[in-house]
Amino acid sequence: MSDDATLIAAARAARERAFAPYSKFKVGAAIETEDGTIVTGCNIENSTYGLTLCAERVAVFKAVSDGHRAFRRVAVVADTADPTPPCGPCRQILWEFCGDIEVILANLTSDMGHHRLKDLLPLPFDARLLG
Ligand code: THU
């Protein structure tokens, strides 16, 4: 298992690759799989705005597409004084693939806190309800 600093550093590096010409708000994410692999994502915007993908979803979809199905932790980095938490849709996507994962929020200089996804997404909808 990588340490927090390594996961956060990977998210910071991914953030540098963000395609965010419209909002100028760059985000990086790094997800650690059960086998210790780190998969990163950055936000990728689109001129139609609505097709923008958040960094967290890019990281999860890259990892799932590479065959990973079990995850330990995700780090999210933005250049903000307050922590930047995953948006609602990203929380739902993280829940689908990661369950009650640890969510680490950081900016460019500090680790700003650790959360459980269950606390960020209480009473989640998921496949258990589909019977
Ligand atoms: N964004 C993310 O990538 N992750 C978040 O947690 C919050 C928002 C992106 C989407 C958009 O490209 C920009 O940040 C501004 O909302």
What is the number of alpha carbons within 13 Å of residue 3 lying toward its C-beta? 2
- Strands in 111-116's sheet, in edge-to-edge order, are 38-42, 27-33, 71-78, 102-106, 111-116
Instruction: Write down the pTM of the prediction.
Output: 0.97
Is the shortest distance between the CB of 56 and ligand 1 below 6 Å? yes
Structural domains present in the chain: 4-130 (3.40.140.10)
| Ligand 1 proximity of 94 Cβ (cutoff 6 Å) | no
Q: How far is CA 41 from CA 27, 54, 74, 124, 131, in A?
A: 8, 8, 11, 24, 32
pLDDT (tens digit, 0 to 9) for every residue of the chain, 131 residues total? 679 999 999 999 999 999 999 999 999 999 999 999 999 999 999 999 999 999 999 999 999 999 999 999 999 999 999 999 999 999 999 999 999 999 999 999 999 999 999 999 999 999 999 98
